[in-house]
Amino acid sequence: MSQIEELQGRLAAALDRIAQGVDRYGEEGAVNPAQLEALQQELEDERVANEQLKERIKMLRKRLERVDAELEAARETATDVVARVDADLQGLREANEQLREINAKLREANEAGVGEPHLINKSMMAELEALRASRTAERSETEAIYSELSSALETLRTAEQAQQQAEQSEEA
């Protein structure tokens, strides 16, 4: 009988502990409707912010694509300009070479006593003018290259900045 009373006491103590645990769980685990609503609002705010970031990323990617296209167009333009200037310079160099050859022949003819000094002077003046034109063409070529490279570098900087912004937006 004493064992029954002892078991009854132990059972009652266990039931008390269970009841206390349930009460504590009810206090701690009970969801406050205001808290639940606040958490749902925060979740919705985060979803909206996430959607806004996705839209911003799309916009930045479009801008990056546009800058890449502009950069490609600038590169093609620069390539065309350089090719054109190079062709002009090549033609000028060939003309200068022919002029030098003619002048050499005129000098030889003058040494042989066949040429006129007046023609030789004109030829020399023409050669000097051709050399000046060659120098001017080379200066123009250098300026064109510098201008195109400056433009391309500026476009590249803009593209890199846009890409960095896009990457930073994606990370955030």
Residue 13 in domain:
no
Residue 22 in domain:
no
Number of domains in the chain: 1
Residue 12 in domain:
no
**What are 119-167's pLDDT values in tens digits?**
777 777 777 878 887 888 888 788 888 887 888 888 788 888 877 877 7
Residue 1 in domain:
no
Report the predicted TM-score, pTM, of the whole model to 2 decimal places.
Answer: 0.45
State the number of CA atoms in the 13 A half-sphere of 45 facing the CB: 6
Residue 15 in domain:
no
Q: Which of 152, 158, 149 is nearest to 64 (CA)?
A: 158
Predicted local confidence at residue 21, as pLDDT = 66
Residue 18 in domain:
no
Residue 170 in domain:
no
**What are 55-94's pLDDT values in tens digits?**
888 888 888 888 888 888 878 887 877 777 777 778 778 7
Range of the structural domain that residue 43 is part of: 39-165
Contacts of residue 86, defined as CB under 8 A and 6 or more positions apart, other chains included, come to 141
Predicted local confidence at residue 1, as pLDDT = 45
